[in-house]
């Protein structure tokens, strides 16, 4: 592949996840990732400061979309209804490539403590964005935090079900994330 072909960022993420799965995170070098993606090392560093950051590619966009969806929810929406709007908004950005990447990414993260840590930080970033958006709507801080954490959990559970599920299901990520949020809402009611 020529170094100026489009999609370098996406190719780098796919190459890295495949290499992390095949040979482990620690054993994978930036040079190997760049070679597998068909780009130069300098192209890698134009997109990512280091190989850890490959895991959180798109985190800022995802957090922004979650917050925008919450901000745009109906004025009388409950905190969880607003989170549902955020999940719908963000889910629209997940396409077939994200679905295919899911199981491989899960395996790579499970095999590396460093990637697990980075994944946890990604979750914190999403929860913070949603909490801030809910607080801006006037939701009290503890309620906003709880709703945001449920939103993160719903997104993760929905993504896992969608990416590992039936490929004939063409409904996208949103129905899975919203169903997970409904399940979590019901589970909180059982807490007493």
- Domains delineated in the chain: 8-53 (1.10.10.60), 58-189 (1.10.357.10)
Q: What residue spans of 92-189 are helical by DSSP H?
A: 96-110, 113-136, 141-164, 174-189
d(CA 142, CA 154): 18
Q: What does the alpha-carbon distance between residue 153 and residue 83 come to, in Å, rounded to a whole number?
A: 11
- Which pLDDT value is given to residue 153? 97
Q: What is the pLDDT of residues 138-177, one digit of tens each?
A: 999 999 999 999 999 999 999 999 988 876 667 789 999 9
pTM for this structure?
Answer: 0.84
Give SS3 for 153: helix
pLDDT at 5 (0 to 100): 57
**What pLDDT, on the 0 to 100 scale, is given for residue 97?**
79
pLDDT < 50 positions in the chain: 1-3
Judge residue 77's burial from the number of C-beta atoms within 10 Å of its C-beta, 0-12 exposed, 13-18 middle, 19 or more buried. middle
- Give the other-Cβ count within 10 Å of 144's Cβ: 24
pLDDT digits 0-9 by tens, 123-148: 999 999 999 999 999 999 999 999 99
> What is the predicted pLDDT for the residue at 84?
98
Extract the tokens encoding 177.
């994330």
In whole angstroms, what is the distance from residue 4 CA to residue 46 CA?
13
């Amino acid at each position: 592949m020529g170094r100026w072909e489009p999609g370098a960022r996406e190719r780098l993420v796919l190459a890295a996840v495949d290499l992390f799965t095949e040979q482990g995170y620690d054993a994978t070098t930036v040079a190997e990732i760049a070679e597998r993606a068909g780009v130069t090392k300098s192209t890698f560093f134009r997109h990512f400061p280091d190989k850890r950051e490959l895991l959180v590619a798109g985190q800022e966009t995802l957090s922004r979309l979650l917050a925008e969806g919450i901000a745009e929810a109906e004025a009388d929406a409950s905190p969880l209804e607003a989170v549902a709007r955020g999940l719908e908004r963000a889910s629209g950005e997940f396409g077939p490539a994200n679905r295919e990447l899911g199981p491989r990414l899960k395996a790579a993260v499970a095999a590396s403590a460093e990637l697990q840590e980075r994944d946890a930080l990604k979750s914190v970033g999403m929860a913070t964005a949603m909490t801030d958006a809910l607080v801006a709507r006037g939701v009290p801080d503890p309620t906003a935090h709880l709703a945001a954490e449920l939103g993160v959990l719903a997104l993760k559970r929905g993504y896992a079900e969608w990416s590992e599920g039936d490929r004939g299901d063409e409904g996208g990520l949103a129905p899975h994330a919203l169903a997970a949020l409904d399940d979590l809402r019901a589970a909180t009611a059982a807490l007493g």
